[in-house]
Structure 1
């Protein structure tokens, strides 16, 4: 592993992993507690309005965050000017979001959204002005500091939500959690990044990053519609209850992504941007990362699909069982979601946000068409299945454009490298579906344990037969590296 300054991808990922794993585990635990206090309708109301807050977050970014990381020549004065500009932008977007409450209330036929949008406008404001401070910390590779912030803010935010839920605040518990988290993130990042408000904005600095940031911004908008159209249409056409079950299913599907892609992806752009003029180095590192991600996904899909009932029953209780089928269908998309999770950072590191935008447009159109088709059926199970299909199609589109435009390599040859993992997924799912129905275990916890052990056994056999443990051995060798000299793969195997 080549070090960039004092930070490598493995070291940065390890630091990020410590905080991410803690955050995801806490998220699972706190959500399990909240889901037993709040009703599915409460989650459905919040999920409906969060579609719009997410849109405003993408709208507020304008690509400045990624541009601050990518453009190494920006001075402290330039960054402060961009930060000051975002304060004005945040105020305008906050006011617009307050006014948006009235049409949202008409769309969902409920006046509760008027007050919700007024309150959530504070979250829109703080998320907007947090963009530059967060980017500065990422640019300076202060991953440990960011990791501590993630844990502290999550504990405080979820603690507030549980307290409010216990006192009967219903969906407002989740609303105030969002606001508190946005405020704490901004205050933390502002103090540690040392960005300042300037009296005079240097618009030359803003124009200087616009070529990179505009395509990044446009790509973010396409990505928004691709990822949120399903929630928007389900909420409008089918109501808050079906949306709650679908949103919960999708949320659980993202846990494996947060455990893997969510750990690696955030650190890639700050580190690989140092190599933006050395594409081959970026490609080699990208290939190694994808090998590891592919192996992780090869375990997640069979287990999640087989143990969907047990996962939801244990985590959230019987009132959420309508989310089981959507979760099983969505879990088949864990592979493409994970596989594509790092591509945005690679496009950014190459400085090619234009191609990223083009890929986003194609993916948004394809996904949107399938979502509309699914919503017309009136079944969240069908929607989940079609969204899974869309994610597989998006993976092939994104990889094709990244390989051909970014690296000038064959996408077929790249994807063929992972064919064994894809075949293993199909075989493991088939075996689990054939075997588990004939094992008479009625206890949910015991059934969960049995399916986990059986999946691990099948997965272990696959890794042993194909020697697919190589990416894990390579990762371990990086962590065991001492004073710049890592133990060889052969030595690790011998020691094991």
Structure 2
């Protein structure tokens, strides 16, 4: 497999990044508006509801879409069998959630969640079958097209949800947003993928899908528990207000992290699946990928860590300022989470789904044990536990993948540290700001402006200082956009 595939990945990342930046801006704007309209209790109820919904979503999708992407040779019968399985699974888990809604709501918080659970169950079927159309576009490397579809669907659903929230909809505004978003994604994805579904069940294809997707489904189920266990335990053993405070802060960061994680999922996984037989390509792609993460996302971490109060004031509102320390702690998850997602992409593309399942189980068990002990210590300790668990799980995945693709850990960490070396002066500058300034609103605005300006200057005019991988892989794309802007300026 030629390293040209990595160039395709970079182009895919570039297209996805444009859409992701737009999506991120819009999502932050929506969060900012919702944070000012809704109460902490509204966010707490939705956090509890969403934690259940995400788990059922992971079951209904069942790794079928990933099986379509990962398979080298694919037929119409295989795709139609996948669609039929997705529809059946979506129907089954919709009915299951309807039947269990009373029991789940009583167990997690109280019976006030029963009707909301009934409502969100209606989205499981469109979510499940949409995985087929989405995966077909990912298989064809139509990253930009699907990104635009996601953007349009989210904008429409967000506008309707905000209007409903302004009219006293409470946390039901989030349910409405999710319902419209999933429905539009399904309609637009099938239209633009040009796939016309047929109900076909071929036993041989079912075995193939289950063989890959079965382990992936179990993995995603456990992984969903891992990602939601903090909210589930807070809803059960904490208060709805505390849950709302923690979810609003963590949810804000997660919305940004998830946007970037989706870039790597939608671009790396399909291309790596095509190059899974070339160990040279896999090793090279992995080193380049983690180097790019260090070069780019270290800046995102620093912006959140050193400017937590200003970000909360602007995007969430003054009533959330008591969560500044929590946001500062959770910002450390940015790097570990994205590193971990990239490692997952390589593990899944190489079909090491059993190991992926084991790491998900370990993540879930470790989270439960740690949160059980720190749940009464305060939100800051829960945030620190999230960071610690993310780091430990990433380290385990990294060691396994390094062994499988024959890369030494020393080489990997050298690449990571080299990609982050540009951040040393910025870390020193940010630390001085935290310790030696009064932090009134004017100082915060001036600092973030100058800090961001210096980072942009570094990326644009000191690319070698940022890192060799950034200079060779991303900077040519950045320079191309700069040249385009110059042309417009001349005209």
Q: TM-score if structure 1 supplies the norm length?
A: 0.89
Match of 1:450 among 444, 447, 452: 447
What residue in structure 2 maps to residue 490 of structure 1? none
Please, which runs of 5 or more residues in structure 1 have no aligned partner? Answer: 483-496
1:247 aligns with 2:247: yes
Q: Return the alpha-carbon distance in structure 2 between the equivalents of residues 199 and 302 of structure 1.
A: 50
Q: Return the alpha-carbon distance in structure 1 between the equivalents of residues 32 and 4 of structure 2.
A: 40
Structure 1 residues 460, 362: closer, same or farther in 2, change over 3 A? Answer: farther
1:380 aligns with 2:379: yes
Deviations 1:306-361 (A, max 9, x none): 21111111111012223222111111222211211212211122222222222323
Q: Superposed, which structure 2 residues align to 1:67-86 within 5 Å?
A: 67-86=67-86
**Paired residues of 1:256 and 1:300 also in contact (CA < 8 A):** no
Structure 1 residues 459, 113: closer, same or farther in 2, change over 3 A? Answer: same
Q: Return the alpha-carbon distance in structure 1 between the equivalents of residues 280 and 26 of structure 2.
A: 38
Q: In the TM superposition, what is the alpha-carbon distance from 1:389 to its structure 2 partner?
A: 1.1
**Paired residues of 2:61 and 2:90 also in contact (CA < 8 A):** no
Q: In the TM superposition, what is the alpha-carbon distance from 1:381 to its structure 2 partner?
A: 1.2
Q: Return the alpha-carbon distance in structure 1 between the equivalents of residues 109 and 451 of structure 2.
A: 48
Q: In the TM superposition, what is the alpha-carbon distance from 1:108 to its structure 2 partner?
A: 4.1
What residue in structure 1 maps to residue 323 of structure 2? 323
SS at match of 2:407: coil
Q: Superposed, which structure 2 residues align to 1:125-164 within 5 Å?
A: 125-164=125-164
**Paired residues of 1:20 and 1:258 also in contact (CA < 8 A):** no
Q: Return the alpha-carbon distance in structure 2 between the equivalents of residues 126 and 321 of structure 1.
A: 38
What residue in structure 2 maps to residue 170 of structure 1? 170
Superposed CA RMSD in Å reads: 2.8
Structure 1 residues 33, 64: closer, same or farther in 2, change over 3 A? Answer: same
SS at match of 1:179: helix
Q: Return the alpha-carbon distance in structure 1 between the equivalents of residues 425 and 379 of structure 2.
A: 27
**Paired residues of 2:418 and 2:467 also in contact (CA < 8 A):** no
**Paired residues of 2:290 and 2:415 also in contact (CA < 8 A):** no
1:44 aligns with 2:41: no
Structure 1 residues 259, 69: closer, same or farther in 2, change over 3 A? Answer: closer
Q: Return the alpha-carbon distance in structure 2 between the equivalents of residues 261 and 127 of structure 1.
A: 19
Q: In the TM superposition, what is the alpha-carbon distance from 1:49 to its structure 2 partner?
A: 0.7
Q: Return the alpha-carbon distance in structure 2 between the equivalents of residues 442 and 150 of structure 1.
A: 38
What residue in structure 1 maps to residue 407 of structure 2? 409
**Paired residues of 1:370 and 1:387 also in contact (CA < 8 A):** no
User: What number of residue pairs does the alignment pair up?
Assistant: 479
What residue in structure 1 maps to residue 21 of structure 2? 21
Q: In the TM superposition, what is the alpha-carbon distance from 1:197 to its structure 2 partner?
A: 4.2
Q: TM-score if structure 2 supplies the norm length?
A: 0.90
What residue in structure 2 maps to residue 293 of structure 1? 293
Please, which runs of 5 or more residues in structure 2 have no aligned partner? Answer: 481-491
What residue in structure 1 maps to residue 465 of structure 2? 467
Q: Return the alpha-carbon distance in structure 2 between the equivalents of residues 295 and 477 of structure 1.
A: 11
Q: Return the alpha-carbon distance in structure 1 between the equivalents of residues 220 and 105 of structure 2.
A: 26
**Which 10-residue stretch deviates more, 450-459 or 130-139?**
450-459
Q: In the TM superposition, what is the alpha-carbon distance from 1:296 to its structure 2 partner?
A: 2.1
What residue in structure 2 maps to residue 88 of structure 1? 88
What residue in structure 1 maps to residue 394 of structure 2? 395
Q: Superposed, which structure 2 residues align to 1:192-231 within 5 Å?
A: 192-231=192-231
Q: In the TM superposition, what is the alpha-carbon distance from 1:423 to its structure 2 partner?
A: 7.3
Q: Return the alpha-carbon distance in structure 2 between the equivalents of residues 363 and 288 of structure 1.
A: 26
**Which 10-residue stretch deviates more, 411-420 or 285-294?**
411-420
Q: In the TM superposition, what is the alpha-carbon distance from 1:10 to its structure 2 partner?
A: 1.6
Q: Return the alpha-carbon distance in structure 2 between the equivalents of residues 137 and 429 of structure 1.
A: 40
